[in-house]
Amino acid sequence: MAASPPSAPYRLQCIVHRESASGIIIHDEQILAPSEHAAVADAKARFAQLLAGRAGSAALRDQAGRVVWSRRQNTPSGAGAPAPEG
């Protein structure tokens, strides 16, 4: 049986806009994934969960700090046309 590739750390950094006095939530977490493709898939799912229908933006960075995926959602889900995926 082949060994699975080691997981590499990626950073998911999100800003989620909310309707309250403070205005935004800043979220930063590590995603461990065996490939960039897997990390992007995890980041997309986590970003959707964090947004919960609100506006916001996110960036996924590799170990060198390069942005490997980013997304901005200006309108809440279902309230208009979706923002283009990056």
Give the mean pLDDT of 62-76.
91
pLDDT of residue 81: 44
pLDDT of residue 86: 53
- pLDDT digits 0-9 by tens, 27-55: 999 999 999 999 999 999 999 999 888 89
DSSP the chain: -PPPPPPEEEEEEEEEE-SSSS-EEEEEEEEEESSHHHHHHHHHHHHHHHHTTS-EEEEEE-TTS-EEEEEEE-S-TTSSPPPPP-
Given a cut of 50, whether residue 80 has pLDDT beyond it is no
Question: Does residue 13 register a pLDDT over 80?
Answer: yes
